[in-house]
Structure 1
């Protein structure tokens, strides 16, 4: 019994010391991190006290069976008061400590937001590309980002990390979302993105697939033809960057793209290249671009003619209405 009372006294003194430590933290004399560590330890003391106090109460019940009734009630009240006093003190210091830690979190968040806003306000404005996680867009994105940010000696790694986050969206952003912004983590973020998207085999396959799956043209249209040329050249140049020997693929690429053209443009290309044994890709692309310019010019002329005719009709309609109005006025005046 004596040993149990001593153990209980040790626990009570630990709670008292913790309360004093909390007061020191509030005065700014102690570290908030140490408070959090001590708080975790103190939370375990409740079970220890409850077990010891319960055992003391059980032992006293056995002892009190031999005592007079008035003494028994006195001992029971004493133990009840002991438990109640400890509970009040324990939960008081626990609540006080938790209030301080929560207040500290709030202050830190405000400081971080203010620092973040100030940091962005001081960064130079850059027109950066956006990347959502498309393999086909990775090379174009990273080459531009690399030249504007990654290789920029005037920016430190934390600044580069902020810029990187501002460029990424959707799947690409989720890859690095778990990383805290720091100099060391910037290199980790770049490496994670490269591991995911700089997969040369996948990139080559996707760009080749895109060329084979170019949208066929069903009629002459400078808009659709321009789109086809742009899409083809984007994938072609990406394959060049990836080191594929596209300079030897002229015949194959011309065939793939030419069968995607509308019938009229196909005939014009066949007529143009009928005396050329091995046509060159750059010449083929040049012919298509010239066709685009021609169609644009024709569409512009047709639009102008349409506008002229519409204006003529509107003018005739207004003139006709004016003549009718004049006749009506003249007729009215004659009656007067």
Structure 2
């Protein structure tokens, strides 16, 4: 099992590395369309979440794992920053072009294929999910509420999906769907409890732990504490 997990983690890490190499080439980034940049960002967000999950599973089986998590984190945050900056630049440019034309024309873009990690009801994952969703979809002024509700449904499964699935696909239902999800899953006490359990369930450091063991151990704790602090952000 440990070998399979390591191989899977290596594959996911490769996705982060390829996107990092892409954003390091300014010419390639500039030539990329907004839709392609958004697709790469969504794939990166999903891949990093899987990477973190594999790290937790591997550490639970082998506390001596020597993966350099810090380096992957740095690459991930750099990629997200570069992609977001370029998506915003292109969006601003596109918006300015539209505004310079006829104000009576309303642009309804074809719905792109957007992928973000699905939310299945785990309280400790809700804050990260809703922040990513709002950044990619909710704050996108080019979409109307019906389109946003369509996307929201596609990113939910299990209990969260059941919570809003019977809402009619009309504009007024969108705000109601967000309110229902926030009311059910933005439960600070439950979220904090799950994050604390993540720390308590960490395997103990080996007797002869090296610097890499401590780095990985601290990295998990730091991520969890950041998530706890984010509850009050």
TM-score, with length taken from structure 2: 0.47
The structure whose RCO (Cα within 8 Å, separation 6+) is larger is 2
TM-score, with length taken from structure 1: 0.33
- Which protein has the larger Cα radius of gyration, Structure 1 or Structure 2? 1
